[in-house]
Amino acid sequence: MHKLFSYGTLQLPQVQQETFGRLLQGDKDSLPGYVLASITIRDPEVIRKSGTAIHPILQYTGKASDQVPGTVFLLTDRELAQSDAYEVEEYRRVEAVMASGQTAWIYADASEYQAG
């Protein structure tokens, strides 16, 4: 099983049903060292599932005082692949340490991880 931290639309029941075919079980947690910004999604399927073109995105600050609340879900290998397919190219999946001390996958701003 994989731990995935969700701070945005993957917490919505309708997105979970359409993406995974079930409602996910999870625990509240927060991610230190990040803040939320917004991006405009252009993928019509993601907009249809989420009901909005404006989505939150994590941006790294490195400041312990910055915290993003959310939920850590347990996903199977298949569900993690489905989650990757749902997220658009502006997001990149990376590992991070939650406020609770557990490690989980997060979807952060891909532009912060580009070479060069």
Which phi and psi angles does 24 have, rounded to 5°? Answer: -85, 150
C-beta separation of 92 from 108 below 8 A: yes
Say what the pLDDT of residue 50 is: 86
How many other β-carbons are positioned within 10 Å of the β-carbon of residue 103? Answer: 13
Place of tokens 């309708």: 14
Q: Tens digits of per-residue pLDDT, 2-20?
A: 999 999 889 999 999 999 9
C-alpha span between 107 and 84 (Å, rounded): 9
| Structure tokens belonging to residue 104 | 């989980």
CATH tag, 2-110: 3.10.490.10
Q: Tens digits of per-residue pLDDT, 21-50?
A: 999 999 999 999 999 999 898 989 888 888
Say what the pLDDT of residue 108 is: 92
Average pLDDT, the chain: 92
Place of tokens 């952060």: 108
73, β-bridge pairs: 4, 26
State how far Cα 21 lies from the chain centre.
18
| Structure tokens belonging to residue 59 | 């941006």
Task: Provide the whole-model pTM.
Answer: 0.87
